A and B are shown apart, each in its own frame.
Chain A
Amino acid sequence: MRRIKIMAHLVAGFPSPEGWKAAAAALRNAGVEILEIQIPFSDPTADGPDITAASEASLRQGFRVRDIFSCIAFGRELGFEEIHVMTYANIVHRYGMEQYIRDMADSKVTGLIVPDYPIEDDHGFYRTAAGYPLAAMPVAVPTMNSTRLRMLADLKPVCVYAALRQGVTGRKTEIDGETFGFLEKLSEMRVYAGFGISHRDQLKALESRAYAAVIGSHITRAASRSSSPEEVYREVDAAIHQCVY
């Protein structure tokens, strides 16, 4: 029995609109509870090579921001318990921040992640979202000092995205005593912990210390191995089975 939820991260429209649906279906059928969909952006400064390349490929194929709503609808049809949307500040800014939050809430999105809206330079994003039935998730990192942790707590976030190590997405992360020490500082919040997770041993180590483990680059790499929906399904299914138990 797995005692930690899985949040799987997919770049919308990657590797193709149909391939994306196949990937989402493979994840749901493997028992993944939470789907995080990334709206691709041309300048993704927090992403590693796999997700950067996936974002580019999706944009090259003509992905438009409005296409996110059909991805969200498909995710709901598949029966994910929660659907979170991640993107960068410029996409939100161009869309109109409050309109973005409202449209996401209307589509029953449960959480929003915008990594380049840090706690104090957010144009009021976190406080605005607090007025809607979804969770705007700030990002916490192990190098945060006590002042910044206090600023984070002052936002009273329900949920927080914990990046388990310094750097960008992609490389494997060792879960160790330091990780646990960091997660303890966030124990008041519902923690979605990620960065470099690709194996069930890491999930087991995080059990009871985080609400969900985030799996991103690992699945994106699998989805990038093919463009035919059947193949994508098989690749993503194999990849996620290294994590579920």
Chain B
Amino acid sequence: MGKYFGPYGGQFVGEVLKGALAELEEAMQNILPSAAFQDSFRRLQETYIGRPTPLCRADNLSEDLGGAQVYFKLEGQAQTGAHKINNALGQVLLAKCMGKTRVIAETGAGQHGVATAAAAARLGLSCDIFMGTVDIRRQQPNVFLMKQYGAAVHPVEDGSRTLKDAVNAALKNWVEESSTTHYVLGSALGPYPYPDLVKHFQQVIGRETRQQVLHDAGRLPDMLVACCGGGSNAIGFFSPFLDDPVALIAVEAGGYGNRPGEHAVRMEGGGMPGIIEGYHSLFLQTEDGQTSATHSISAGLDYPGIGPELAYLGSTGRITFTRAGDREVLDAYGILARREGLICALESAHAVAAALKIAPTLGREALMVVNLSGRGDKDLFITAGELYRDAWREFLQQEAGRLADETH
């Protein structure tokens, strides 16, 4: 475990949070390695999350692209539809072992909120989710799912009313309630020890991939590609390969332009070093140090900061960062559905878009694995609106009319 990754990381929090973070660090050291924890967690991974998730060879796409043999790691097959459950369930189980009775979480797209709510329901803890009102409006289906799992969803009216403000609200609530409550942070960022804790639970993606590729191809892959918001799927996928000769490509949200507010590209010169939400890393911010607005078609990548370990590995060149724009992402989403029968999350479609560009530049003997961090059902209201605007509007109006008639 490390508190710093080069200059990045750390624990830049008010003194009020120091005690809770120390308690968490101690629990990680004592509880995570215990046989009791590992046994229960393994059982939950197999019987509830549905691990291992499949590694799927993409023969049609590989043929089309005429370059590397492409594989997809299907994290969307995991319970609740994304890799987020790996971390959420692990942390909720840890919280239960710590004697906590309640968990809280922030959510943007709602995927981490849904995963935490499901895990809390499964393990019998009460659950409160903080979500910006802008996100609540654009992610109603996930708000609905969280409520089905018995969680309370608290609207956050501060700041830009999006993910970063939900993180702030969750931190404030934790400060008040830390004796009974564990804060389930959703990505590999925030104050130490969260980047390590989240990586710990997400590494299963890379470990399984390694075994599965070795089994199928008899050797390690040449390249891994993952999308990168806060970076939990990317670091979990990459970290078991850091010491191997495997190229690692992380794909950020290019949005629709290069100006501030039009994208969420923190690496490649967009982000500046900063200390926000408890950690030192690269952030999209103004000259004064106020966080900037961001944009992405995928809510999960729409965040101004990046996990400290990824920022560091980007600065050393171990991980190469690239971007994919909203348009390319929608195209990649469609191609994947038609050629491989896979409907992926818009976040994951960023990785697919980059893979479509890179694979043809590699030789036929090269092996590339793309992490499909989530499946695409959650995005129906966005993708349908983008791809079939008129038909979708008509459908929504008709449904609204039907509901109005029924209430009369």
Contacts and interface: CB of A to CB of B under 8 A. Distances in A.
A137 to B, nearest CB: 12
A139 B175 CA distance: 15
14 contacts: A41-B289, A42-B159, A43-B159, A43-B291, A45-B277, A46-B14, A94-B272, A95-B289, A115-B14, A117-B12, A118-B12, A121-B10, A166-B175, A167-B16
A73 interface: no
A7 B389 CA distance: 57
A53 B11 CA distance: 25
Given A45-B168, A45-B277, A65 B289 contact: yes
B176 interface: yes
Contact residue range for chain A?
Answer: 35 or more
A62 to B, nearest CB: 11
* Prevailing SS type, chain B contact patch: mixed
A242 to B, nearest CB: 25
A43 B276 contact: yes
A143 interface: yes
B290 interface: yes
A90 B275 contact: yes
Interface string B1-33: 000000000111111101100000000000000
Complex A-B, nearest 9 residue pairs according to Cβ-Cβ distance, in ascending order: A94-B289, A42-B290, A89-B275, A167-B176, A90-B289, A46-B14, A65-B288, A115-B14, A42-B291
Interface string B161-200: 0001100100110011010000000000000000000000
A43 B12 contact: no
B11 A118 contact: yes
Contact of A45 (B172, B178, B272, B274): B172
A53 B158 contact: yes
A105 interface: no
Nearest to A89: B275
B16 A143 contact: yes
Contact of A46 (B10, B16, B276, B289): B16
Interface of A: 41-46, 48-49, 52-53, 56, 59, 64-65, 88-91, 93-95, 115-119, 121, 138-141, 143-145, 148, 163, 166-168
Contact of A116 (B12, B164, B289): B12
Given A90-B275, A117-B12, A45 B171 contact: yes
A148 to B, nearest CB: 7
Given A45-B171, A93-B274, A141 B15 contact: yes
Contacts of A168: 172, 175-176
Contact of B18 (A42, A53, A148): A148
A125 to B, nearest CB: 11
Given A65-B289, A166-B175, 10 more contacts: A41-B289, A43-B168, A45-B171, A45-B277, A90-B289, A93-B275, A116-B14, A138-B15, A143-B19, A167-B16
A174 B171 CA distance: 23
B232 interface: no
A196 to B, nearest CB: 12
A92 B176 CA distance: 26
A220 to B, nearest CB: 15
B287 interface: yes
Most buried by B among A42, A49, A141, A163: A42
B278 interface: yes
